[in-house]
Each structure stands twice: as C-alpha cells, then as structure tokens.
C-alpha cells in the first residue's frame, strides 16, 4: 500500500530524515519507534503533505505522492492524527467529528459513520455538545481518532497516541487501534512506548537520528537485545 524510498526531509539546515526506506502492506499495523528527535514525526508529516521532502519517493497504491499538498493527500484517504491531538478546542465534539467528513458529500454514509464512531467511543456520545477543549487528554485522543475515522481512512497514521495519558486510558486507546485494524484499516503508528507499540505491530522499524537502524516483526524486535536496552528500559 505504501512504499517510502530513500526519503530525505530537512528543516532549514537540519537534515531530519536521512534516506529512509520502508513499506506498509495493506491490512498491517507497522510501527516506527525511536527516541525524541529520531525523525518519526517528520516522516509522518512528510507522508501527509505537511512537509515536502528534499528527495525520495512516497508511493501510495502505486502513485508517487511526495510533495503533494496535504489536502490532496487527505483526499486519497491517508489520514494523519498528529502528536498533541490538534482538535478544534472551541468547537463541540459533534462539530469536530463533522470536520473529519469535510471532504465527503455522502450524507447518509456520514451519519452511519458518525454512529459507528460514537459506538466505538461511548464517552464522546455523552459529550456531543461539549467543547473539545474541555475534554480530558484521553477523551481528546478519542475525539482525534474519531474525527480521523470520519474521513474513511485507508491508511491511518497515528503520532504518539499514548502521550500524556494514564495507563488505563493507553490500554483503551491501543485496544481501539487493534479493533480498527481488524475492521480493515491499515495503521502506521509512531509511538515512544515501544513495548505496547511492538506488542500490537506486525512489523516495526527503529529510527535513530533520521536513519532506520533495525527492522523486524513486532515480536522479533520485542526480544531484540539492542531494542530492550535502548527502548524498553532493560539492562
């Protein structure tokens, strides 16, 4: 579904992503793990069109989308839930969810998808008229994911979905990610909690200073000595 080849992205003089190549196959959960500043978020922003690469290709379903504007990438059903959620704080929960369907005009299906999202996240159903900015961190993450679902994603890219959340909420979020994947949505996950990310991933890539240093299945990387020392906090 997605093939990234020799991708380079820079912020001014900072060479943030250095010639990385990786693939995401349809129906997979693939995770990118690494320390802060490794280039994980930059990679997602480059795929989603928020940043333009300096070189390399990003093939999605056989079409090179490198450098394509973000709204055109979204129209191809590549949906990015950014770090920090980025919900519309002054809009109600319902308005935030409706914004996810901004590029759609199939009203009946939009209503059906809204029902599905509220079934998936019952807390949002209880807070439909509440402003997004008044929700807890966990609820805002649910809202960001629900808004993404309203865009009918083929590829859902999640950037640090567990950040700042209590362990019990993290568990709920990751159970939801697995559920979405079981419904046929392909997932590209950036996550600092390497343990939980690798435990649900089909495959993973380890980034260090903008380069891919290791790759393997989720279960292989979980028992890799280097990964255990560097990212799982083990001696």
Q: DSSP string of 147-215? A: HHHTT--SEEEEE-TTTT--HHHHHHHHHHHHHHHHTT-EEEEE-S-HHHHHHH-SEEEEEETTEEEEE
- CB contact burial 24-55 (16+ within 10 A = b; e otherwise): beeebbbbbbbeeebbbbbbbbbbbbebebee
Q: Is residue 38 part of a domain?
A: yes
Look at residue 122 and tell me whether its pLDDT is greater than 60. yes
Residue 170 CA to residue 161 CA, distance in Å, equals 8
Residue 64 CA to residue 55 CA, distance in Å, equals 12
pLDDT for residue 235: 54
pLDDT for residue 232: 75
Share of the chain above pLDDT 70, in %: 99
Q: Is residue 133 part of a domain?
A: no
Q: Which residue has the higher pLDDT, 1 or 86?
A: 1
Q: Is residue 140 part of a domain?
A: no
The tokens for 16 are 């943030």
Q: Is residue 41 part of a domain?
A: yes
The tokens for 176 are 């939801």
- Average predicted confidence (pLDDT) for the chain: 92
Nearest alpha carbon to residue 115 among 150, 81, 87 = 150
pLDDT for residue 234: 65
Q: Is residue 103 part of a domain?
A: no
pLDDT for residue 137: 87
Q: Is residue 177 part of a domain?
A: yes
Residue 171 CA to residue 117 CA, distance in Å, equals 18
Q: pLDDT tens digits, residue range 67-100?
A: 999 999 999 999 999 887 788 889 999 999 999 8
Do 72 and 49 contact (CB within 8 A), yes or no? yes
pLDDT for residue 229: 85
Tally the domains of the chain: 1
Residue 228 CA to residue 233 CA, distance in Å, equals 6
Q: Is residue 141 part of a domain?
A: no
Q: Is residue 106 part of a domain?
A: no
Residue 208 burial (CB count, 10 A): 15
- What CATH number is given to the structural domain containing 193? 3.40.50.300
Residue 201 CA to residue 199 CA, distance in Å, equals 6
Look at residue 38 and tell me whether its pLDDT is greater than 60. yes
Domain extent at residue 7? 2-85+153-231
pLDDT for residue 103: 77
Do 81 and 144 contact (CB within 8 A), yes or no? yes
Q: What are the angstrom distances between the C-alpha of 183 and each of 24, 142, 152, 177?
A: 17, 17, 12, 10
């Amino acid at each position: 579904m997605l093939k990234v080849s020799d991708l380079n992205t820079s912020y001014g003089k900072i060479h943030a992503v250095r010639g990385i190549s990786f693939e995401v196959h349809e129906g997979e959960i693939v995770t990118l793990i690494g320390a802060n500043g490794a280039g994980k978020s930059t990679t997602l922003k480059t795929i989603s069109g928020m940043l333009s690469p300096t070189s390399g290709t990003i093939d999605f379903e056989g079409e090179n989308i490198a450098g394509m504007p973000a709204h055109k990438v979204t129209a191809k059903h590549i949906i990015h839930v950014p770090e920090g959620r980025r919900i519309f704080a002054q809009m109600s929960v319902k308005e935030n969810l409706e914004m996810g369907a901004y590029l759609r005009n199939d009203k009946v299906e939009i209503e059906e998808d809204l029902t599905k999202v509220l079934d998936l996240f019952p807390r949002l159903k209880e807070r439909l008229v509440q402003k997004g900015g008044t929700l807890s961190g966990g609820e805002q993450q649910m809202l960001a994911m629900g808004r993404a679902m309203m865009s009918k994603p083929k590829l859902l890219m999640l950037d640090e979905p567990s950040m700042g959340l209590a362990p019990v909420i993290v568990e709920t979020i990751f159970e939801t990610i697995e559920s979405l994947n079981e419904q046929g949505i392909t997932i590209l996950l950036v996550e600092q909690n390497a343990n939980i990310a690798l435990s649900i991933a089909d495959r993973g890539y380890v980034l260090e200073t903008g380069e891919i240093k290791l790759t393997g299945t989720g279960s292989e990387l979980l028992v890799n000595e280097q990964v255990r020392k560097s990212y799982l906090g083990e001696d």
